[in-house]
Amino acid sequence: MLDSSLNKEQEEAVKTTNGPVLVIAGAGAGKTKVITERVKRLIASGIPAERVLAVTFTNKAAGEMKERVATAGPFIGTFHALGLLLIKENLEKLKISKNFTIIDEDDALKLIKDSLIEMSKDPKDFEPARLKNQISGMRNRLITEEDFAGDPSYGGAGGYFGEILGAVWKLYEAKKKQQNFLDFDDLLLKPTLLLMKDKGFRALYQNRWQYLHIDEYQDTNEVQYTLSKILAERHRNILAVGDIDQAIYSWRGADFKNVLNFQKDYPDAKIITLEKNYRSTDIILEAANSLILNNKMRLPKKLWTEKKGASAIKIIFAEDERKEAEMVAGEIRALYGAERESLSFAKMAVLYRTNAQSRAVEEIFLKRNIPYRIIGGVRFYERKEIKDILAYIKFALNEHDEISKKRILNVPPRGIGKTLMQKILAGIVLKPEEEKKYANFKKIISEIKEDSARLPLHDFLKNAIKRANYRGYIDDGTEKGSERWQNVGELLSIAKKISLGRSPTGEAVGGGTIEDFLEHVALFAVDDKYEPAKEKVSLMTMHTAKGLEFDAVFIVGLEEGLFPHSLSIEPADLEEERRLCYVAITRAKTHLYLTYAARRTLFGERVANLPSRFLKEIPEHLAEYISFPEETDENGILENIIEY
């Protein structure tokens, strides 16, 4: 039975289950509801749940879908979770050992640095992060290390840099294989290449999943696009949901042209456009629509809503970034303390183009006692104490994991200094007193390994922490030490939930094993950037805000050179900046503030900037123009924007 709250277009998308369907879903138009209701309808109609697949980009989105579907059987998860499933079911075909470790971005960078050092190259001269990004970019375009070795001009990386990149890449792949590592790119690339090359493998999964749902299609890169297309080839029952106007990730390989090419791939595809917005007021939507109409690369769409706006968009001029932050703080305090419509701090967000812009806002918020949280800083699984404990588990389960071994050899301190550590890692024969220190470490690891075979997850993790004497190391009596130990407690809580076969957000995760726990950690690290803040204003970049919503949104720094960014001079880049502005605007439900400063300190220099062209693209009748300080001529602000 269909959900009675579906609108006409949503209902059409849910009912159209056979053949290819492209849903152009505007911001806040209920695309998650369409996917979940469609999955529920398929299963209710008699389609076996295990024949249904739904793929999205974050664990948060996948968790929400699972909760709404509330039926066991269909695969609902991220692209990386799907890739991991294919790998686990085909270890022998892929020539991967069972106890592999999924490494995060930090550990991948360490391998790149180690490769450079092994080549007698100074990492300071070759920027490991740049090399890692080049390698990742090519792999996301289905280019392997062997392909690159055959033609170093791939990705424009020819000449001397191409030689270095090729040598580093070769070593990097060798180190991963030696230590039984998979990086995040491997989770997508390895199964996709196998699907392309192995007919039997391809037929198996094309038959398994009869109905495919791909969320955020505009954010797919070439690997994800190819993986989706191959899986859909046999039955052609693919529903892709996307919105070119929200395509903001070209810098990480996403190609919004995949949405445009859907009709070429599937000439008989049905196109359905979701334009009714359930999030924002009509004032905010009219501003967003007017802005995005200035882009040429898009599909026709005009969002509308039944929600009438009670307040205009506020466009505010400030003398500098400090006055800008003062204004934001003042407005937040006013919204928080309003008699008729008081908003909690958690319902408000400050968005900016670059992370450096948060400094001035933070200083003023501290001064005005406004609780805030930076979203996109050091996340839970990236904290030292969490990575230390995970390293003990990973190394106990995978003795080839040299990164984890190196991390914990002398953590907590056990007299293994830098020289001894190098000898151990190099396999050099140790002196008796050195062997004694090393033997203590080996005993701990051996005991943890034995525990892994006999204890349930929660007890195993608790014992591992005790065997490593980690509390005595981390909880040093200081407030910081107490906070770190509380983080360890949170890790134990997560293990407790997973040991019961549930993730921290409630969905099923399998058998509640140690492997399930490590997979949860790895997939959360790659796919999620946002953790909800309790009673704190959220501060984050506009890219991070994608997929979120707040009652009140403050978009700061709308100045030429800052937003749009000075590097976005090509038409295609400028259009992506405008899409980013569109995404930022459509995060707001009821209150929207756009700010710019006459002067701003950038890279230590005091510079004067023109108002952003995006301000000019907001219709005048939708906005209220305010200056800070108040004695500045209000009309002058408007003229400044319009004249520019």
User: DSSP for 202-262?
Assistant: HHHHHHH-SEEEESSGGG--HHHHHHHHHHHTTT--EEEEE-GGG---GGGT--THHHHTH
Catalytic residue among 10, 31, 298, 321: 31
Amino acid at 433: E
Catalytic residue among 3, 12, 17, 32: 32
Catalytic residue among 246, 305, 357, 590: 246
- Reduce the DSSP state of residue 623 to 3 states and report it: strand
Catalytic residue among 107, 215, 243, 576: 215
CA distances from 474 to 417, 471, 482, 488 (A): 19, 5, 8, 10
Closest CA to 226 of 184, 272, 258: 258
3-state secondary structure 44-75: HCCCCHHHEEEEECCHHHHHHHHHHHCCCCCE
Known active-site residue 422: no
Known active-site residue 281: no
Cα separation, 82 vs 11, in Å, equals 28
Catalytic residue among 37, 145, 185, 216: 216
Closest CA to 16 of 42, 43, 52: 42
Count of positions (residues) in the chain: 644
CA distances from 479 to 127, 377, 380, 466, 491 (A): 36, 20, 18, 21, 19
Closest CA to 336 of 327, 328, 324, 345: 345
- Reduce the DSSP state of residue 266 to 3 states and report it: coil
- Reduce the DSSP state of residue 569 to 3 states and report it: coil
Known active-site residue 573: no
Known active-site residue 560: no
User: DSSP for 81-127?
Assistant: HHHHHHHHTTHHHHT--TT-EE--HHHHHHHHHHHHHHTT--HHHH-
- Rounded (to 5) percent helix, strand, coil in the chain: 55, 15, 35
Catalytic residue among 587, 589, 600, 613: 587
Cα separation, 405 vs 408, in Å, equals 6
Expressed in angstroms, the distance from the first to the final Cα of the chain is 55
Known active-site residue 476: no
Known active-site residue 31: yes
Indicate which residues carry an active-site annotation. 31-32, 215-216, 246, 587
